[in-house]
């Protein structure tokens, strides 16, 4: 059986001269049965990319979604942005959702998923909500806190409902869920840790990095779920 092709969005270095991607993303797709396809930042090629891939991973990175995208002025606690990357990721994410392509959005990718549906973010959890403790020190691949997975969600069908131990490295988070966005997990302090779009075949965002903790089958299940949905999308199954 051929492997579903899973597009992976890329980061770029500070000077913009080199694309970057943690190996864990590609390895997780491979272990889940998919074929990773790297997607350079070329908005004009978004249609060609979508014709090539069967599913999409919007990866995380050490930068922030520009607050202008959700109708706010930038405040001092907001971190640096990468406009070229965000513009490309927004374009291909919106196109993927319009085409009902399976999507897994990780960390900053989850925040962008909420924003493209009209949601808003905390520019900084500490400054905006007085919440700390979501930027764990190294090692980043070791789970550091619990989340509560909501019963009856697609996330729960993949990883099980109840408590899931996750790794967490972020200072921003979803504040207001966008249109049609369902909150599927929260941390004990109330921070939204996972969202999904119930009106799509597969569209899940998680604030943690399941590719980095994929030795736990519950975390790899997110990538397996994406690949399975991509395979079904290719064959036209529901």
Active-site amino acid positions: 107, 209, 211
The Cα-based distances of 195 to 2, 140, 189, 204 in angstroms read 30, 22, 16, 6
Residues 6 or more apart in contact with residue 136 via CB below 8 angstroms: 144, 145, 167, 168, 169
The Cα-based distances of 81 to 24, 62, 78, 133, 200 in angstroms read 23, 9, 9, 22, 29
């Amino acid at each position: 059986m051929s492997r579903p092709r899973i597009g992976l969005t890329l980061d770029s270095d500070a000077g913009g001269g080199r694309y970057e991607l943690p190996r864990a993303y590609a390895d997780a797709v491979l272990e889940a049965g998919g074929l990773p396809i790297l997607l350079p930042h070329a908005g004009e090629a978004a249609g060609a990319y979508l014709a090539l891939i069967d599913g999409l991973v919007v990866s995380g990175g050490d930068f922030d979604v520009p607050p202008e995208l959700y109708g706010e002025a930038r405040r001092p606690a907001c971190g640096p942005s990468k406009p070229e990357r965000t513009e490309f990721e927004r374009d291909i994410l919106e196109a993927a959702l319009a085409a009902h392509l399976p999507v897994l959005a990780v960390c900053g990718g989850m925040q962008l998923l909420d924003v493209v549906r009209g949601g808003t973010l905390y520019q900084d959890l500490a400054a905006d909500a007085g919440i700390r403790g979501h930027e764990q020190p190294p090692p980043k691949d070791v789970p550091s806190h619990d989340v509560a997975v909501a019963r009856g969600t697609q996330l729960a069908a993949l990883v099980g409902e109840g408590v899931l131990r996750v790794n967490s490295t972020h200072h921003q988070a979803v504040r207001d869920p966008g249109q049609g966005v369902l909150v599927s997990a929260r941390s004990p302090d109330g921070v939204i840790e996972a969202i999904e779009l119930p009106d799509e075949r597969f569209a899940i965002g998680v604030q943690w990095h399941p590719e980095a903790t994929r030795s736990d089958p519950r975390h790899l299940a997110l990538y397996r779920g994406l690949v399975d949905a991509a395979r079904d999308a290719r064959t036209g199954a529901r």
